[in-house]
Amino acid sequence: MIKILFVCHGNICRSTMAEFIMKDIVNKQGLSDIFHIESSATHTDEIWNGVGSPVYPPARAKLAEHGIGTKDNELGVSAKRARLTSRTDYDKFDFIIGMDCANIRNLNSLFRGDPEGKVRKMLEFAGREGDVADPWYTGNFDATWNDCSEGCHGLLRQIMVDPRFRDELSYNQDVSYDFDDDMTYKNDFQRYDDFPRG
């Protein structure tokens, strides 16, 4: 199982959008049985008496605009509630992806470092630097969608060439994986590059 945790400040906008974009991607590629994907917060701003807030309505609307969280492709959007990142998450996940520099600082503080190199910034996977701007403040959910979509697609491509996940990927009966002797993935990415970017 390949385990991914997306993290932002409150877990109602950016990280939840990334969670469900990634779930949609792997589901459409027939890979959902080998992925476990969640999202969480670095602060309790959206958690009251132990109960997290649901996905922020404009974020949910943006997901629905792209066919995610709809009746035909719900993926758990309606049940999602904000949750706080815990120290034990470090051992549970292969990738812990913060949306901005503040998230990364908070995660490294919580985990007391990152000895296994699991903590990464979202836009690294999009091949660029910078932060995913918080639409709670900017109001620009299109920009957040584009950043999260690019990052999630880039993350999938990185996973597909990562020798650590060879066994999980080879287990999928619907996809043929071919590695060189040095465990370098040598097949092309046509199957994974034909889905829309959003």
Please identify every residue annotated as catalytic: 8, 14, 134
- Which parts of the chain are beta strand (E)? 2-8, 35-41, 47-48, 51-52, 95-98, 119-121
CB 90 within 8 Å of CB 115: no
| 151, 39 Cβ separation under 8 angstroms | no
The answer to whether the CB of 134 falls within 8 A of the CB of 9 is: yes
Residues 6+ apart with CB under 8 A from 108: 114, 119
Which helix H or strand E contains 121, and what residues bound it? strand 119-121
- 173 C-beta neighbours (distance < 10 Å), count: 8
